[in-house]
Amino acid sequence: MYPDSVQKIIDIFSKFPTVGPRTAARFAFYLIKMPSAEFEEFLDALDGLKKTVKLCSSCFNPSKEDLCPICQDKSRDQSLLCVVEKEADLASIENTKKYKGLYFILGGVISLRKNNKEIRIEELKEKIKNANFQEIIIATNPTPEGESTALFLERELKPFNIKLTRLGRGLPVGGELEYADPDTLESALEARK
Amino acid sequence: MYPDSVQKIIDIFSKFPTVGPRTAARFAFYLIKMPSAEFEEFLDALDGLKKTVKLCSSCFNPSKEDLCPICQDKSRDQSLLCVVEKEADLASIENTKKYKGLYFILGGVISLRKNNKEIRIEELKEKIKNANFQEIIIATNPTPEGESTALFLERELKPFNIKLTRLGRGLPVGGELEYADPDTLESALEARK
């Protein structure tokens, strides 16, 4: 129905998170109608993104350098590690300005249907092995998948004999960490047990 | 909070239809993690889209040539014009395989807040002037904006003295044409009045 080159871009956008074929088609039409100068700016920004940003080798947050500013910051509490599902969760916690430890981004959750290898469990163990953490906060989302992931992490990290905590249940059950307001997140950080 | 090049792409994606800053951030992280080969394919597809696809000069549907295949097809009923809001609506109607006339994409709706110049009313009048239509189907969505747009079109096209019809109300009120199934759309086409 659509020209090949339109169908091609619809197929690619359909794989983007939260995007289905209809939204992907809207994106294609939006791009076709986008003024050339703006389109060039978009291509440049994509190129710039891929050329200048990689994942921090220690926490996996997007970073311009091998180590992100948080991992480089020696004034942060090197004995405290916070494990989150994804980048946006790290950003939400940083936004409270109340957490001064380090982070680790799992890159997903344990799903019964999917392969567990999709989360960075080996990289997490490696990081813990090479550091001296006194406490690890398992800050997965209070969703069914987040809960299974937390249980999985508790089991996998038990041999390290490090205090494992969870975020306090100031968070509404069934909600998403990414959408919590800073105050709720702050209470959750303080009420961790 | 994010590196400049990440923020830049978030800003651009935030302007895409249906996308807010959180989804835009997810897109940015998705692209950062995308394997290089796949990313190159994405850039090539974008380039191909912009280089090979333009808007049909007669109906404004995306097309590889100056005139799209529908406008080029002389076997289609040249006396019948169907005016739709957007590209996806045209695709839905084509999908019924029951409509054999021509199309015109308005590119939007009349909004009380926005400037009416955003829809292609002058281009539509020009097209009607240079053709010999016996009937014009105003196929805007059965939403408040679609209804105002239909009323606006009825007023603007009245001087042409051409039969103006609307899609039959097989469509659920408040729904969107883009999401209608082919059978409902077919009934609506047949029940036009």
Output DSSP code: residue A20: -
Domains and CATH numbers, chain A: 4-52 (1.10.8.420), 67-190 (3.40.1360.10)
Compute φ and ψ for B81, nearest 5 degrees: -120, 135
**A111 burial class (0-12, 13-18, 19+ CB within 10 angstroms)?**
middle
> Looking at the DSSP assignment, which residues form a beta bridge with residue A43?
none
Please provide the average confidence, as pLDDT, over all residues in chain B: 90
> Looking at the DSSP assignment, which residues form a beta bridge with residue B55?
B62
ipTM of predicted complex: 0.79
Positive or negative torsion for Cα B89, B90, B93, B95: negative
Nearest CA in chain B to A94: B1
Structure tokens at B104: 């015109």
Instruction: State the Cα angle at B1 between A193 and B2, rounded to 5°.
Output: 115
CB atoms near residue A38 (< 10 Å): 11
- A55 has a pLDDT exceeding 60: yes
Which residues of A are less than 8 Å from B1 in CB distance? Answer: 91, 94-95
Q: Which residues contact A192 (CB under 8 A, 6 or more apart)?
A: A137, A165, A166, A167, A168
Q: What is the pLDDT of residues B96-143, one digit of tens each?
A: 888 999 999 999 898 766 655 579 999 999 999 999 999 999 999 888
Cα–Cα distance measured from residue B182 to residue B126, given in angstroms and rounded to the nearest whole number: 31
3-state SS, one letter per residue, for A71-101: HHCCCCCCCEEEEECCHHHHHHHHHHCCCCC
Nearest CB to B49; choose among A9, A50, A88: A9
Query: CA B77 from chain center: how many Å?
Result: 20
- A188 has a pLDDT exceeding 90: no
CB atoms near residue B17 (< 10 Å): 10
Q: What is the pLDDT of residues B138-157, one digit of tens each?
A: 999 888 889 899 999 999 99
Smallest CA-to-CA distance from A188 within A85, A93, A77, A80 is with A93
Whole-Å CA distances, B37 to A35, A70, B40, B42, B175? 27, 30, 5, 9, 40
Q: How far is B61 from chain A (nearest CA, A)?
A: 9
> Do B52 and A18 count as a contact with CB atoms less than 8 A apart?
no
Cα–Cα distance measured from residue B80 to residue B108, given in angstroms and rounded to the nearest whole number: 21
Nearest CB to A94; choose among B1, B17, B50: B1
Residue A45 touches partner B, C-beta closer than 8 Å = yes
Q: What is the pLDDT of residues B150-185, one digit of tens each?
A: 999 999 999 999 999 988 767 777 777 788 878 777
Total CB pairs under 8 A between chain A and B:
136
Residue A132 near residue A160, CB atoms below 8 Å: no
> Looking at the DSSP assignment, which residues form a beta bridge with residue A63?
A54
Q: What is the pLDDT of residue B147?
A: 87
Output DSSP code: residue B85: S
Q: What is the mean pLDDT of residues B71-84?
A: 96
Residue A67 touches partner B, C-beta closer than 8 Å = no
Q: What is the mean pLDDT of residues A122-145?
A: 93
Cα–Cα distance measured from residue A108 to residue A124, given in angstroms and rounded to the nearest whole number: 13
Structure tokens at B136: 């014009």
Candidates B49, B70, B71, B176, partner chain A, best to mutate (most A CBs within 10 A)? B49
Residue A88 near residue A178, CB atoms below 8 Å: yes
Whole-Å CA distances, A154 to A169, B125, B136? 17, 68, 66
Nearest CB to A55; choose among B12, B30, B32: B32
Residue A108 touches partner B, C-beta closer than 8 Å = no
Residue B129 touches partner A, C-beta closer than 8 Å = no
Residue B108 near residue B135, CB atoms below 8 Å: no
Candidates B12, B51, B90, partner chain A, best to mutate (most A CBs within 10 A)? B12
State whether residue B75 is helix, strand or coil: coil
> Do B41 and A12 count as a contact with CB atoms less than 8 A apart?
yes
- B32 has a pLDDT exceeding 90: yes
Residue A42 touches partner B, C-beta closer than 8 Å = yes
B positions 144-183 inside 8 Å of A (CB): 178-179
Residue B188 near residue B167, CB atoms below 8 Å: yes
> Do B48 and A5 count as a contact with CB atoms less than 8 A apart?
yes
Query: CA A73 from chain center: how many Å?
Result: 20
Whole-prediction pTM value? Answer: 0.78
3-state SS, one letter per residue, for B140-187: CCCCHHHHHHHHHHHHHHHHHCCEEEECCCCCCCCCCHHHCCHHHHHH
> Do A88 and B25 count as a contact with CB atoms less than 8 A apart?
yes
Residue B95 near residue A22, CB atoms below 8 Å: no
